[in-house]
Amino acid sequence: MTKLLFTGGTGFLGKNIKPLLDQMYEVTTCGTSQNNVLQVDLAKQVPVLPERYDVVLHACGKAHTVPKTKSEKQAFYDVNYQGTVNLCAALEHVGVPESLIFISSVAVYGCEYGDMVSEDHPLDGTSPYAESKIMAERYLEEWCRRNQVKLGVLRPSLLAGKDASGNLGAMVNGIKKGLYVNIAGGKVVKSILMVEDIARLVPLLAEKGGVYNVCDTRQPSFGEIAASIAKQLGKRKPMSIPYWVAWCMAKVGDLLGGKAPFNSYKLEKMTQSLTFSNEKARTELGWEPLDVLKNYKVS
């Protein structure tokens, strides 16, 4: 069976897709937790790998936090960029793989809003998260070219799956507690992807390589997603408040500072649509994404 090294294989992504990968590959997980086959901190050391792998799925990364200090900002570069450098050094010692697949992010484009952003968009991301992902992508491009390794880069949108974190996790928790509300009818759209699709894409990327945005084709609105979650939880459909009410709440939050759960920045994020095009992946890989509204199960 084809051997696959999976970094970050015990986090949110790993928990959701490893059972699917196990059906296709002999999987070895690598990461900081004790649940990994190879327990190592890639940000701090070059691991000693026991053997050569045919395919590497590099998903180890730091995300979903807003850095407040210099050390917190540096952690993104240590994990996302230096961790990639250290992984490649380790692979050279045991023999490079045939294919390496890197889980990047649509954050590399630096877009706060937009419609059907494609892979041709400049990499304008300036946050520590986006910059560290851009640096890792560029390093891998050169390393894979030099070592004749087929490189596949996935830039996923917001991920939906069991125990999702980030904005989707916050939505689920808010609906559970009866605290979530839609703003102006919940018409805002943010591209989203079923996490299981990453596993379905791995063999396609391992064979072909390339750089691809990956997200649902339907592009459901926040209101549609919230209604689906509420129905699954047996809760009422979240109410909607007018934009002006949300604006007033945001201004109060601005005055309260960091302790406020809602402010103008969050209002802007919740009311500006940002979608990405998956046409390249569908055309070149023959891939069709799962429909999030039909497949996302909260429990």
Q: What's the confidence (pLDDT) of residue 51?
A: 97
Higher local confidence (pLDDT), 260 or 230: 230
Q: Where are the domains of the chain?
A: 3-160+193-216+277-290
Q: What's the confidence (pLDDT) of residue 66?
A: 75
Report the C-alpha gap between 108 and 211 in whole angstroms. Answer: 12
Q: Report whether pLDDT(176) > 80.
A: yes
Alpha-carbon torsion, ordered 121, 126, 127, 132, to 10 deg? 80
pLDDT tens string 212-222: 999 999 999 99
118 falls in which pLDDT band (50, 70, 90)?
Answer: very high
HSE, CB side, 13 Å, CA atoms: give it for residue 265.
7
Give Cβ neighbours of residue 274 (< 8 Å, ≥ 6 apart).
111, 112, 113, 114, 117, 189, 190, 191
pLDDT tens string 48-60: 999 999 999 999 9
pTM, two decimal places: 0.92
Q: Are 195 and 295 in contact (CB under 8 A)?
A: no
Q: What is the mean pLDDT of residues 176-182?
A: 89
CATH architecture designation of domain 3-160+193-216+277-290: 3-Layer(aba) Sandwich (3.40)
